[in-house]
């Protein structure tokens, strides 16, 4: 459970009006032993050893009640692992305004793939590039709007993503129409993406200007399962992205132990990622993950075992 440092910090916003702000810190600390081997362009890379303070990060979230049903939420993350450079990164910052009209948000993040939501098992694999064998991601800026519930459980949204961060704007923009439906144990996600600003070279290489992504997640009680679909993102028959992608996941809790597996396949490229999580407490757990990727530009195996604490 997240620890609230300032429960009700009263901040004056006018001579007579006041708003309540809540500041929350959350994060993860952990250490692990990990190993992986990867083959790309005929070159084999192997890494084995300790990974102290791996996946470590601290996130600050500020929520301010503006009154009248309006609420502002802002967040930034300080990451302490080497891949983040130990700095506050724009990829983890956001500000959102929510009210009866829905939610408007500005976020510095990474491009997403709805189909990957089907990977329901909480994985802690060391090399995230294993997912890139079937679905690529890039850093950028996102503007989004999410509606209030149209009918119970159903929300729709529209967003625009630019794969360039900061003050500059990207020529290539991805506009997404999305919908999510939640009814008891069932969750369904859908996204229709349209890309504009593709160069002649990108079009000639087969990049498409539209793409459909779907995911369905169901809690069976004894297990949670997920299935996903992602239409091909290019018509270039020489690229693995010219094939549709299917994804799946299962997570089975058994008291303090949770076992599960994630996977996805696009053409000849596929990966799976299996693991066992053992909870020592509500916040501390020992985790073992093993995975394999084949058929893509990177092929190999990965293993990680470690102890992690979240708060």
For 228-251, how does the pLDDT look when each residue is reduced to its tens digit (9 = 90+)? 998 876 665 555 566 788 999 999
Reference 52, options 29, 86, 35, 36; nearest CA is 29
pLDDT band at 254 (very low <50, low <70, confident <90, very high): very high
**Cα 57 to Cα 204, 214, 307, 309, distances in angstroms:** 41, 30, 15, 11
Average pLDDT, the chain: 80
Q: Give the global pTM.
A: 0.81
Q: What percent of the chain shows pLDDT beyond 70? A: 71
| 255: Cβ contacts below 8 Å, ≥ 6 apart | none
| Residue-level pLDDT at 280 | 96
| Residue-level pLDDT at 14 | 39
Who wins on pLDDT, 144 or 80? 144
Who wins on pLDDT, 125 or 19? 125
The DSSP bridge partners found for residue 30 are 308
């Amino acid at each position: 459970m997240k620890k609230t440092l300032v429960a009700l910090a009263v901040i004056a916003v006018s001579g007579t009006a006041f708003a309540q702000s809540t500041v929350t810190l959350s994060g993860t600390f952990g250490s692990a032993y990990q190993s992986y081997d990867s083959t790309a362009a005929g070159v084999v890379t192997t890494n084995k050893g300790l990974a102290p303070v791996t996946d470590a990060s601290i996130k600050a979230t500020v929520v301010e009640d503006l009154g009248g049903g309006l609420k502002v939420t802002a967040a930034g993350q300080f990451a302490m692992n080497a891949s983040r450079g130990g700095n506050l990164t724009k990829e983890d910052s956001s500000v959102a305004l929510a009210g009866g009209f829905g939610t408007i948000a500005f976020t510095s993040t990474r491009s997403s793939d709805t189909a990957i939501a089907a990977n329901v098992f909480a994985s802690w694999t060391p090399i995230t590039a294993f997912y890139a064998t079937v679905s690529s991601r890039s850093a950028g800026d996102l503007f989004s709007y999410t509606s209030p519930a149209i009918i119970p459980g159903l929300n729709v949204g529209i967003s625009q993503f630019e794969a360039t961060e900061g003050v500059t704007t990207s020529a290539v923009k991805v506009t997404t129409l999305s919908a999510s439906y939640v009814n008891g144990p069932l969750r369904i996600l859908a996204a229709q993406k349209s890309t504009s600003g593709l160069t002649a070279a990108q079009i000639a290489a087969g990049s498409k200007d539209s793409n459909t992504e779907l995911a369905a997640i169901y809690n069976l009680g004894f297990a949670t399962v997920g299935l996903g679909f992602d239409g091909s993102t290019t018509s270039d028959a020489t690229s693995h992205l010219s094939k549709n992608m299917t994804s799946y996941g299962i997570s089975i809790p058994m008291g303090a132990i949770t076992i599960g597996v994630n996977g996805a396949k696009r053409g000849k490229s596929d990966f799976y990622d299996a693991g066992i999580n053992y909870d020592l407490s509500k916040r501390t757990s020992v985790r073992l993950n093993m995975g394999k990727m084949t058929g893509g530009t990177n092929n190999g195996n990965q293993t990680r075992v470690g102890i992690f604490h979240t708060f």
